[in-house]
Amino acid sequence: MEFKIRELNNNDWGMLNDWWDAWPKWQSPPKDILPENGNGGLVVEKDGTSIVAGFVYLTNSKTALLEWIISNPKYRDNDREDAIRHLIKSSEDIVKAMGFKYMFTMLQHKGLIETHRDLGWHVDKKPSHELIKTL
């Protein structure tokens, strides 16, 4: 069966929290730090099973951000990497169709970095740090 991609909705929040909680060293982000209060993203499904999700921040420039990629830790098929690639490529296509020219992300996970590199993303040789301040 083929992958399907759909927009996130309010019903997905519990599932996403379960995914974040199940991965070691991950923590659920606050819902209000995410675009559209947790609904501004996409989820990839196969045969009715959600596999991977990510959030797309739309800016007032020609840049969109793809962030907070998370996958279903219970998904056992060997095509998780393909689902991640589908999420990234679909996100690129969607924001390009909306008129965006650039896509940006911040990553720590080596596998995700390599996947992005394989899909033609520029990977800076010097790592940077993510800084967040709650106001």
Q: Quick check: is 109 in a domain?
A: yes
- CA-CA distance, 39 to 8, in Å (whole number)? 5
What is this structure's pTM?
Answer: 0.91
Determine the pLDDT at residue 1: 65
pLDDT at 82 over 90: yes
Q: Quick check: is 134 in a domain?
A: no
pLDDT at 77 over 70: yes
What are the strands of the beta sheet with 41-46, ordered from one edge?
4-7, 41-46, 49-58, 63-71, 102-104
CATH of the domain at 76: 3.40.630.30
103 DSSP β-pair partners:
64
Tokens of 49: 């099973």
Report how many domains make up the chain.
1
Range of the domain at 38: 4-118
DSSP helix/strand/coil, 66: strand
Q: Quick check: is 128 in a domain?
A: no
Give me the mean pLDDT over the 73-90 stretch: 95
Q: Quick check: is 127 in a domain?
A: no
Determine the pLDDT at residue 75: 95
